[in-house]
Amino acid sequence: MADLTHEGAADTSTSSEKKLGLSALVALVIGSMIGGGVFSLPQNFASVASPGALLIGWAITGAGMLCLAFIYQNLSARCPDLDGGVYSYARAGFGDFIGFQSAWGYWFSAWLGNVSYAVLLFSAMSFFIPVFGDGNNLPSIIGASVVLWLVHALVLRGVREAAYINTILTVVKVIILLVFIVAVLIAFRIGVFTADFWGRMMVVEGSRPEIFDQVKNTMLVTTWVFIGIEGATVVSARAAKRADIGKATVIGLLGALAIYVLVSVLSMGILDQANLAGLKNPSMAGVLENVVGPWGAKFVAGGVILSVAGALLAWTLFAAELPRVAAIDGIFPKIFAKENVRHSPSFSLWITNGLIQIFLILTLFYAAGYQAIFSIATAAILPPYLFSAAYGLKLAWSGERYGPGESRTGGIVLGLIATFYGLWLCYAAGDSMLLSSLLFTPGILVFLWQKKSQGQPMMKSYELAIAIAILALAAWTLSLVISGNLQIA
């Protein structure tokens, strides 16, 4: 906690704003990655893979995500002038239009994700207060709205203060996860874990999957649990030390990876694959209940509440901060750059949370409508990862921002692996990635309007080609939806 700020550091801003130190940045990375999904990992993995396939899947995923984390570390060090993280890297590497679409997709995904966090928060609270049901009834929406505007008020008091609360929540939820890990480690039975190690007796959707298919399925699950790895880069303008951004990204990734692996692997030594796959989510509750008794389920439910609350706060910061940086760069409307006296992105925060409130109400009256839009926006956060990796590869390949005689071999290899993994993430998103073209299409109009208002040329020739490709893909996707060949769910 003492590292939260570094007043007087040589590279701090001359602004009166107090900056974020390493511990706060690490907490933002971990807090944004570890939300509600970790509590469902045991069932999610057991339903598609055996222990052997799971270990192989984690090895591949860990290598890919670690390369991406090193890309962010490298870019934050070589590009100290870029303060918007994934958006800034996409813009610097591939132009204004790609940069805008990255910011547009990231922003939509961030605030729509917060709607789902708010619903999940009160669904978890129903373990203790049954009136909240599945988290989308009237009492839940009222409660979620109160929480939303409490978080809003907290962030308005300053990013540093909000980050401090997030640090506390992150520490608490990590402790809860460690308690679970220790409990299942003590109760772990190697005989259960190895009974069907390669899944020869597994049945998934009426067939026995080959080991390759099992590994692929584990990686489809892991696609989403690392969303948030870029957290420190999004708030890089508020970091006390530039070097802390890359450190926080790598430390946060390694911490989250260790927790994910231990939770999912150790659970397979408590219950066999069939029973684990049949658990109700959050499945960690069923695993711990099997180890310590009924109180274990409520202990995990409490963990879900604190974990989701922390993720809600972290993503509120990201969803408000990125449009502010994009507005300063002239990509978003200028008014999004407005801050209050505490240096909080006030206008961006009001717009973001206003949209969240509207969609919270929508979940009450038309839950299917929210789910449809959320499925479209879910995958929109993945292209910025790909563009970040590709930008790292571009710099290493061209030698831009490298010193004379500095070796670029490691950077090229790292960039190739991270770019390939970024492509894999987009592929693994499947139909969600295809549906996201419907979200990027209106972004084209906003981009053109912003360019016109600034008196700038509308689009370069390659940007126009990309825009036409997006429109064509959106038209094709819409035709598939209308014909019933593609489901929005």
Q: What would the pLDDT profile of 271-296 be if each residue is shown by its tens digit?
A: 998 999 999 889 999 999 999 999 99
Q: How far is CA 195 from CA 45, 199, 205, 268, in A?
A: 16, 9, 21, 10
| CA angle 448–454–459, rounded 5-degree value | 40
Residue 8: per-residue pLDDT: 36
* 9 — pLDDT class (breaks 50, 70, 90): very low
The Cα-based distances of 9 to 40, 78, 80, 232 in angstroms read 42, 20, 16, 18
Average pLDDT over residues 423-449: 91
Buried b (16+ CB within 10 A) or exposed e, 438-473: bbbbebbeebeebbeeeeeeebeeebeebbeebeeb
User: Rg (Cα) of the chain, in Å, rounded?
Assistant: 22
Both tokens of 487, joined, read 């489901």
pLDDT reading at 7 higher than 80:
no
Q: 243-266 b/e with 16+ CB inside 10 Å = b?
A: ebbbbbbbbbbebbbebbbbbbbb
- pLDDT score for 441: 94
Domain ranges across the chain: 22-378
| Residue 344 contacts residue 157 (beta carbons within 8 Å) | yes
- Cα separation values, 303 from 114, 125, 309, 317, 438, Å: 18, 10, 10, 21, 35
pLDDT for res 457:
85
CB atoms within 10 A of CB 354: 12
Structure-block tokens of residue 376: 């479209």
pLDDT at residue 371 is higher than 80? no
Q: Which CATH architecture has domain 22-378?
A: Up-down Bundle (1.20)
pLDDT at 370: 64
- Find the angle CA(205)-CA(209)-CA(212) to the nearest 5 degrees: 140
- The reported pLDDT for the residue numbered 207 is 77
Q: Is 286:280 a contact under the CB 8 Å cutoff?
A: yes
Q: What is the predicted pLDDT for the residue at 99?
A: 94
Q: Does 11 have pLDDT greater than 60?
A: no
Determine the pLDDT at residue 70: 95
What contacts 330, CB < 8 A, 6 or more positions away?
Answer: 450, 454
Kindly give, in sequence order, each residue whose CB lies less than 8 Å from that of residue 69, ignoring residues fewer than 6 positions away.
229, 249, 250, 253
Count how many residues are written for the chain: 489
Say which range, 9-23, 90-104, 116-130, 222-236, has the weakest mean pLDDT.
9-23
pLDDT of 194 strictly over 60: yes
Structure tokens at 422: 């970024």
Dihedral sign for Cα 439, 216, 489, 40, please: negative
Taking residues 190-194, report their average pLDDT: 95
Q: Look at the block and give the residue holding tokens 């974020």.
A: 20
Residue 254: strand, helix, or coil: helix
* 8 A C-beta contact, residue 166 and residue 312: no
Q: What is the pLDDT of residue 369?
A: 62
Q: What's the rounded mean pLDDT across residues 152-163?
A: 91
Rounded to an integer, what distance in angstroms lies between the CA atom of residue 98 and that of residue 111? 20
Count Cβ atoms within 10 A of the Cβ of residue 49 and give its class: 0-12 exposed, 13-18 middle, 19 or more buried.
Answer: buried
The whole-angstrom distance between residue 187's C-alpha and the CA centroid of its chain comes to 32
Work out the pLDDT band at 368, boundaries 50, 70, 90. low
Strand partners, 20: 239
Six-digit token string for 369: 């409508």
414: pLDDT confidence band, cut at 50, 70 and 90? very high
Work out whether the CA dihedral 412, 418, 421, 423 comes out positive or negative: negative
pLDDT at site 237: 87
All residues at 6 or more sequence positions from 90 whose CB lies less than 8 Å from its CB, including other chains: 98, 99, 101, 102, 103, 383, 384, 387, 388, 391
pTM for the structure as a whole: 0.89
pLDDT recorded at residue 456: 86
Cβ atoms 150, 313 nearer than 8 A: no
| pLDDT grade for 16, boundaries at 50, 70 and 90 | low
> What is the rounded average pLDDT for all residues in the chain?
90
In the chain, what percentage of residues exceed pLDDT 90? 71
What totals of helices (H) and strands (E) does the chain contain, helices first? 21, 0
pLDDT band at 13 (very low <50, low <70, confident <90, very high): very low
Confidence at 428, pLDDT banded by 50, 70, 90 = confident
Helix (H) or strand (E) holding 213: helix 211-225
Instruction: Give the up-direction half-sphere exposure of residue 242: CA atoms within 13 A in the CB hemisphere.
Output: 14
What pLDDT shows up at residue 10?
35
Per residue in 337-360, pLDDT (tens digit) is 999 998 899 999 999 999 999 999
The mean pLDDT of 418-434, rounded to a whole number, is 90
- pLDDT band at residue 219, thresholds of 50, 70 and 90? confident
